[in-house]
Amino acid sequence: MPAPDLFSPVQLGLIHAPNRALMAPMTRCRASTGGVPNPLNAAYYAQRASAGLIISEATMVSPLSLAYPNIPGIFTTAQTDGWRLVTDAVHRAGGRIVNQLWHAGRTAHPDAIAASPVAPSPIAAKGNASTADGPKPHATPRALETGEVPLIVEQFRAAALNAKLAGFDGVELHAANGYLLDQFLRDGTNRRTDSFGGTAHNRARLVLQAAQAAVDVWGPGRVGVRFSPSGTFNDMSDSDPRATFSTAVTLLDALPLAYVHIYEADSADIRHGATDPVPVGYFRQFTRHVLVVNGQYTLDRARDVLGRGHADAVAFGKPFIANPDLPRRLQAGAPLNTPNPETFYAVGAVGYTDYPALP
């Protein structure tokens, strides 16, 4: 059979994507007070409804997950109602959208959450946290007691239910980029000696239980999981990422997921110690699910990874910020707008909903 084209349809579990150019999850810091999505957010996502699938920005499952100012949550009625504005707008525009569920763990700052951040082990991340008062050093987190870990699973379950009530087409668990699920997975941040630490199997236990909770809510074919095996963001490391993440992907293969999403190492990861990045194609042997890849992809790179059979779909990040009609532009060979990093996390419509589409 010929290799799939980026503009051919793909079935992600029960979600039918008309093309394989997905929109990657991207924090934009434009939610209203209390983490409530608003009409401006709805306009932004609706503009990008031509994506094969939109994966929303990371969305807090708990008040203890507040890692950046003005980010959305999905643990209150007001937040859930706000997301309904977004999903209705995307669906009216003919699109599909899943909600990325997120717990920041140790990257939350005490000033923002009025408590100690939680993590698998009391190891502070190097560098600074983002707060409403500017950058501040990361705090040493409090290690979760074994009996508290099921409460985290229940937060993901409740968030998955709220996402369903909000009208999403599914959910994605954020187990990447140095946040709580990723912190449990990697031995650089997980020094536990209970059933959630030690072996790769034990360290994957939390993400497996959270995924099972989401599947219990959504049923088969509506839940994805995102990993960053070679990522160094938020001071992350692992002694054997191939073993760690192949174990996690293999365990998840027993669940009826929609897809597995792999973020590749980028140039920043290489600079910060990812000396032997795990190639995305490595994970194909461990999963029967649709494999989505992400990380500084161009049209040529996307076609190459699909042509080699290393992935089934490609998630684009920054190109979707500046090009709301990205699939159309790529297919037509049209020039791309250049994103402005100074407005990635700004306030208001500038750099958010004012990028032009093709005539």
Q: Which residue has 């899943």 as its token pair?
A: 98
* 24 found inside a domain: yes
pLDDT of residue 278: 85
81 burial class (0-12, 13-18, 19+ CB within 10 angstroms)?
A: middle
* 348 found inside a domain: no
Confidence of residue 304 (pLDDT cuts 50, 70, 90): very high
* 4 found inside a domain: no
CATH number at residue 246: 3.20.20.70
CB 264 within 8 A of CB 295: yes
pLDDT of residue 280: 83
pLDDT greater than 60 at residue 201: yes
The pLDDT tens digits for 21-60 are: 999 999 999 999 999 999 999 999 999 999 999 999 999 9
Mean pLDDT of the chain: 95
Give the residue with greater pLDDT, 271 vs 227: 227
Confidence of residue 81 (pLDDT cuts 50, 70, 90): very high
Q: Under 8 Å CB-to-CB from 352, ≥6 apart: which residues?
A: 28, 30, 40, 44, 343, 346
pTM of the model: 0.96
* pLDDT, mean of residues 185-195: 98
Give the integer Cα–Cα distance in Å for 220 and 226.
Answer: 17
The pLDDT tens digits for 323-357 are: 999 999 999 999 999 999 999 999 999 999 999 99
pLDDT greater than 60 at residue 271: no
* 357 found inside a domain: no
Among the options 45, 179, 259, 355, which is catalytic?
179
Q: Which two tokens stand for residue 177?
A: 């980029």
The pLDDT tens digits for 145-183 are: 999 999 999 999 999 999 999 999 999 999 999 999 999
Confidence of residue 134 (pLDDT cuts 50, 70, 90): confident
Q: Where in the sequence is the domain holding 81, given as residue range(s)? A: 10-343
pLDDT greater than 60 at residue 1: no
Give the residue with greater pLDDT, 222 vs 133: 222
The H-or-E segment that residue 131 falls in is strand 128-131
* 310 found inside a domain: yes
Q: How many domains does the chain have?
A: 1
Give the integer Cα–Cα distance in Å for 30 and 68.
Answer: 11
283-304 per-residue burial string, b: 16 or more CB within 10 A, e: under 16: bbebbebbbbbbbebebeebbe
Confidence of residue 218 (pLDDT cuts 50, 70, 90): very high
pLDDT of residue 96: 98
pLDDT of residue 63: 94
Active site residue 259: no
Confidence of residue 130 (pLDDT cuts 50, 70, 90): confident
Lowest mean pLDDT, pick from 35-49, 65-79, 126-140: 126-140
Confidence of residue 74 (pLDDT cuts 50, 70, 90): very high
* 270 found inside a domain: yes
Percentage of the chain lying above the pLDDT 90 cut? 90
* pLDDT, mean of residues 235-255: 96
Give the integer Cα–Cα distance in Å for 181 and 101.
Answer: 11
DSSP string across 145-195: PGGGHHHHHHHHHHHHHHHHHTT-S-EEEEE-TTSHHHHHH-TTT----ST
pLDDT greater than 90 at residue 275: no
* 355 found inside a domain: no
Q: Residues for the chain: how many in total?
A: 359
* 354 found inside a domain: no
pLDDT of residue 276: 66
Lowest mean pLDDT, pick from 22-26, 83-87, 108-112, 270-274: 270-274
Q: Which residue has 């792999």 as its token pair?
A: 262
